């Protein structure tokens, strides 16, 4: 099968995406597929080579490392060619399927999915609608509430104006301040008092005009992967210092992960069932990951991730391994599930 692994992009998760793309491309080549590793924003200079010939070339890939801080992606904005680099869509058209390894922004908010849909290009993961609903934390939380899915209470600020002027009484401290539709904990702060609030709001507002202030759940953190509509074993996430921020997510040794998580069997089952319900409510497809916090009163859904990372220390591959699914078989299942969807 000819597969284009589309990665990179211009979100703050660019480095994570390149790492995911490298891991995925190498594994798919090892499984016998003809694979092109393609940076969505950098593109590829074909010269006299046709897109079809590119799939036979097996161009070597450099190792990709994730830095401790999100990268500077400013050079990819405001340019004449827009989001996609040279020959990207021509190379995607030649593929039997595009493995979408983009993280954040256009790769997960439905924009890339819409372009591929319009061009009749098949791709992995959720369609445009599911991506829009999951990426916008305001929309997804409203759907959680409407469908009886437990989620921490929150208020929403647009350009600094709150939908609840009395939010301090309803939410209180500590609270979590975060941009409305970013991933990888970019722009997220845990705030304990008014003195810290202004700095946290400025930080989140650097990325988006919509900011969420959410009740902080002090307790244990979990994630549950969904593949083909079925829940994988839950994984517990225990950062060694601070919370599960960008550095702790992607730097080896910063976080302890336990999979399967040490949970009461009934609780683990309910958490898996809730993850599947989230998957269906948000109209997701093929695979996803749902994040939870749990305190003494129960567990709460934080958000759903439509394109979980596939880096060396990512959560979904660890969960799949605990279920007896190898990394290569996980990718094959994702491709099969995606091809079966009507996009």
CA nearest to 240, candidates 252, 228, 226: 252
Task: Give 4's contacts (C-beta < 8 A, 6+ positions apart).
Answer: 35, 36, 38, 91, 92, 94, 95, 97, 98, 99
Q: Is 305 tagged catalytic? A: yes
Active-site residue identified among 181, 184, 185, 248 = 184
Structure tokens at 220: 């244990």
Active-site residue identified among 291, 314, 319, 338 = 291
Q: Is 13 tagged catalytic? A: yes
Active-site residue identified among 216, 250, 287, 300 = 250
Q: Is 289 tagged catalytic? A: yes
Q: Is 340 tagged catalytic? A: no
Q: Are 292 and 221 in contact (CB under 8 A)?
A: yes
Inter-CA distances, 338 with 91, 94, 232, 316, Å: 19, 17, 18, 17
Q: How distant is the alpha carbon of residue 230 from its chain centre?
A: 18
Active-site residue identified among 12, 303, 314, 319 = 303
C-beta pairs of 273-276 under 8 Å, 24+ apart in sequence: 273/231, 274/149, 274/150, 274/299, 274/301, 275/224, 275/225, 275/226, 275/231, 276/226, 276/229, 276/230, 276/231
CA nearest to 278, candidates 143, 126, 105: 143
Q: Is 29 tagged catalytic? A: no
Active-site residue identified among 10, 11, 12, 13 = 13
Active-site residue identified among 12, 248, 305, 314 = 305
Angstrom distance (rounded) from CA 250 to CA 227: 22
Instruction: Please identify which residue in the block is written with the tokens 């069997």.
Output: 265
Q: Is 291 tagged catalytic? A: yes
Inter-CA distances, 217 with 151, 251, 278, Å: 10, 24, 19
Active-site residue identified among 10, 14, 64, 289 = 289
Q: Is 253 tagged catalytic? A: no
Q: Is 42 tagged catalytic? A: no
Q: Are 208 and 136 in contact (CB under 8 A)?
A: no
Catalytic residues, which ones? 13, 184, 250, 289, 291, 303, 305, 309
């Amino acid at each position: 099968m000819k597969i284009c692994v589309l990665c990179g992009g211009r979100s703050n998760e660019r480095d994570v995406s390149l790492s995911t793309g490298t891991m995925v491309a190498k594994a798919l080549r090892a499984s016998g597929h003809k694979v092109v590793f393609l940076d969505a924003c950098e593109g590829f200079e074909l010269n006299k080579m046709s897109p079809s010939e590119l799939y036979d070339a097996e161009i070597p890939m450099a190792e990709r490392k994730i830095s401790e801080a999100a990268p500077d992606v400013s050079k990819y904005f405001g340019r004449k060619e827009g989001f996609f680099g040279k020959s990207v869509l021509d190379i995607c058209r030649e593929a039997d399927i595009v493995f979408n390894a983009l993280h954040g922004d256009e790769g997960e908010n439905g924009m890339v999915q819409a372009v591929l849909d319009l061009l009749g290009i098949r791709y992995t993961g959720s369609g445009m609608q599911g991506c829009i609903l999951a990426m916008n934390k305001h929309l997804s939380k409203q759907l959680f509430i409407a469908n009886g899915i437990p989620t921490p209470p929150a208020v929403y600020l647009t350009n600094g104006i709150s939908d609840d002027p009395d939010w301090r009484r309803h939410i209180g401290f500590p609270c979590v301040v975060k941009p409305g539709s970013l991933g990888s904990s970019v722009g997220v702060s845990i705030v304990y008092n008014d003195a810290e609030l202004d700095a946290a709001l400025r930080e989140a507002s650097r990325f988006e005009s919509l900011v969420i202030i959410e009740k902080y759940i002090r307790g244990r953190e979990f994630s549950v992967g969904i593949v083909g509509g079925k829940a994988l074993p839950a994984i517990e996430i225990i950062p060694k210092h601070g919370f599960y921020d960008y550095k702790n997510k992607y730097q080896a040794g910063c976080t302890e992960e336990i999979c399967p998580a040490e949970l009461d069997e009934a609780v683990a089952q309910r958490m898996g069932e809730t993850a599947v319900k989230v998957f269906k409510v948000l109209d997701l497809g093929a695979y996803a990951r749902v994040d939870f916090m749990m305190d003494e009163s129960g567990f709460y859904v934080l958000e759903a991730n439509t394109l979980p990372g596939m880096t060396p220390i990512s959560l979904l591959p660890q969960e799949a391994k605990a279920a007896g699914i190898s990394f290569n078989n996980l990718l094959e299942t994702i491709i099969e599930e995606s091809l079966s969807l009507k996009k």
